[in-house]
Amino acid sequence: MLLLQELVTRFTYAGILAALMLGSLGVPIPEEMVIVAAGILSHEGLARWWLALPVCLLGVLSGDVVLYWAERWAALVGLVALTGAVIVSVRRWNRRVPKAPSRL
């Protein structure tokens, strides 16, 4: 918690962006807490609201997009590996099963 507070205090907009991206990527930082903190900083005059709002949107969306593409890539790699394993096992099974005699 102190690390997050120091990050947001020292680097206001970059801290908000980093905390939101890390929260979107799985670090246990609630996104809502960072957004509320950005609102409080804006209200107290420590940040400008018209800069904090796009930074919040950019932080949440960029973290979600990175996570989406990482999962999509991992799913494609897993599908290729799984499909290759299925094809190999089917070929092995076909070699073991005797062929039926053909009737003419």
Written as one letter, the residue type at 17 is: L
**DSSP reduced 3-state for 96:** helix
pLDDT at 13: 92
pTM above 0.85, yes or no: no
Residue 79: DSSP 8-state:
H
15-30 pLDDT, tens digit each: 899 999 988 888 898 9
Distance from C-alpha of 10 to C-alpha of 14, rounded to nearest angstrom: 9
Q: Read off the pLDDT of each residue in 61-78 and give the average, rounded to a whole number.
A: 80
**Domain ranges within the chain, ordered by starting residue:** 2-96
- Do 8 and 41 contact (CB within 8 A), yes or no? yes
pLDDT at 60: 92
